[in-house]
Amino acid sequence: MFKSSTAEQGCSPQDYAQAIIDAWNSHDPRRVAEFFADSYEGEDIGLSSLIMGKRGVRRFVAYTALGLPDIKFTLEQVIAQADQIVLVWRASGTHSGKVMNIPPTGRVVSYGGITVFTLAQGKIIRSLRMWDMAGMLRQMGLLPELPEI
């Protein structure tokens, strides 16, 4: 059972997850960072180092918006247990800025991902974000299409 102080305040895991997605869709780094603890540490498969603290979250949100300025996230599923919440999501946007040092292609990309958040006192203290990087790169024209079997 999901037992963050947010849940105790009457916010369901689904509502909490949707609020995070809505913050990301606002493209406001400060709004997103409010969900995170000052001591936050986050891992993302697309980054070479951890995202550290609220400042790191703000920088990551801004970095994402530079490459995909119209990015929109959709929440597909929420799983919650103890102090963890898992978001299954889909993102889509136009690659009109640099992403992972890849110049803009102008292509629309859509990819799925999963984020596992660990919470303490209603704030995210740790996360692991896994997403379909190969699918995004394929849609940018940088990887070959998958064979049909």
The answer as to whether 139 is a domain residue is no
The answer as to whether 95 is a domain residue is yes
Q: How many angstroms separate the CA atoms of 128 and 113, rounded? A: 11
The answer as to whether 138 is a domain residue is no
Question: Which alpha helices (H) appear in the chain, and where do they start and end?
Answer: 5-8, 13-26, 29-33, 53-67, 133-139
The answer as to whether 144 is a domain residue is no
Please give the full DSSP string across 31-44, using - where no structure is assigned.
Answer: HHHTTEEEEEEEEE
Identify which of 113, 105, 146 has the alpha carbon closest to the alpha carbon of residue 132.
113
Collect contacts of 105-111 with beta carbons under 8 A, ≥24 apart: 105/140, 105/141, 107/139, 107/140, 107/141, 108/139, 109/68, 109/136, 109/139, 109/140, 110/139, 111/135, 111/136, 111/139
Q: How many angstroms separate the CA atoms of 111 and 125, rounded? A: 25
Residue-level pLDDT at 60: 97
The answer as to whether 39 is a domain residue is yes
Q: Which domain holds residue 48?
A: 5-133
Residue-level pLDDT at 11: 86
Residue 123's domain is classified under what CATH number? 3.10.450.50
Residue-level pLDDT at 10: 65
Residue-level pLDDT at 1: 45
Number of domains in the chain: 1
The answer as to whether 90 is a domain residue is yes
The answer as to whether 142 is a domain residue is no
Residue-level pLDDT at 8: 45
pTM for the model stands at: 0.90
The answer as to whether 93 is a domain residue is yes
- Report which residue type is found at 129: R
Residues of the chain with pLDDT under 50: 1, 5, 7-8
